[in-house]
Amino acid sequence: MLDDLIDHNRRWAAERSREDPEYFSRLSALQRPDFLWIGCSDSRVPANVITGLEPGEVFVHRNVANLVHRGDMNLLSVLEYAVENLEVKRIIICGHYGCGGVKAAIDGQRHGLIDHWLQPVRDVATNAHQELAAIANEDERFNRLCELSIETQVETLARTPIMQSAWREGKDIEIHGWVYGLNDGLLRDLDCTCGAQAQRDDQTHLEFLRDTSQKT
C-alpha cells in the first residue's frame, strides 16, 4: 500500500506539472495563506478538500476533537507562527457532527490518556447540562454538544496571550467557529465570531479587577 501512495503521488505531481508548469516553483517560493484552520484529526474532514482551497492557501493544525488547550505548546506554536509570521487574517475552528472525540468524552468509558485530553468537552457538557437535557433526541443532543464545544474553543483561543497581543497591536484577525456535516458535506457558520472586541472586553475586566484590588 505504501508503494501505491508513492505511485499516486508521482502521477499527481506529473498531472499538476502538465496542467501548470509553474505550479511547484510558485508554491515553493512563498507561503502566505489567509487562513489558519484548527480542525479535528478525523480523516473524513480534510481542510483543503472540503473548502476547495489549494495547497498554500490554508495553514492547518489538527487534533482530536479540535480542542484549544491553553498549555498545548504545539497548537500555541502554530498559532503564534500563523499570526506573527504568516499574518493570517482569519482563524477557523472547525469541528464536525458525529465527532468520535466528543462522544468518547461523555460515554462514561475509560479510553486511556485521551480522557485527559477530552476534559474540556466534559466541562462544556457539565456547564450546558440544562440546555442539553432539554433536547429529547439523542443525535440532536450530541450534535448540539459538538456545536457548544466549538463555540467554547473560539472563546478560549480569543483569550490566549497571543491573540490578545495581536489585537492590541491592531492586527485585523477574526476567529470563526464552524461545524461540518459528515452526512451532507456542508459547512455551517455557528455565528460565534471573535475579533478585536474580545481583547477590549478582557482588558476592561482586568482593569476592573485591578481597581477593585487596589481599593481593598
In a domain, 11, yes or no: no
**CATH number of 100's domain:** 3.40.1050.10
Active-site residue, selected from the candidate residues 94, 99, 146, 194: 99
> Catalytic: 62?
no
Number of domains within the chain? 1
> Catalytic: 99?
yes
CA dist., res. 39 & res. 153, Å (int) = 11
Active-site residue, selected from the candidate residues 11, 44, 129, 200: 44
Which domain, by its residues, includes 193? 31-208
CA dihedral 166, 67, 185, 58 (to 10 degrees): 40
> Catalytic: 20?
no
Strands 58-63, 35-40: parallel, antiparallel or unpaired by DSSP? Answer: parallel
> Catalytic: 96?
yes
pLDDT on residue 108: 94
CA dist., res. 115 & res. 122, Å (int) = 10
Phi first, then psi, for residue 142 (nearest 5°) are -65, -45
Active-site residue, selected from the candidate residues 61, 62, 96, 176: 96
In a domain, 49, yes or no: yes
CA dist., res. 181 & res. 80, Å (int) = 29
Q: What pLDDT digit, counting tens, does each position of 93-151 carry?
A: 999 999 999 999 999 999 999 999 999 999 999 999 999 999 999 999 999 999 999 99
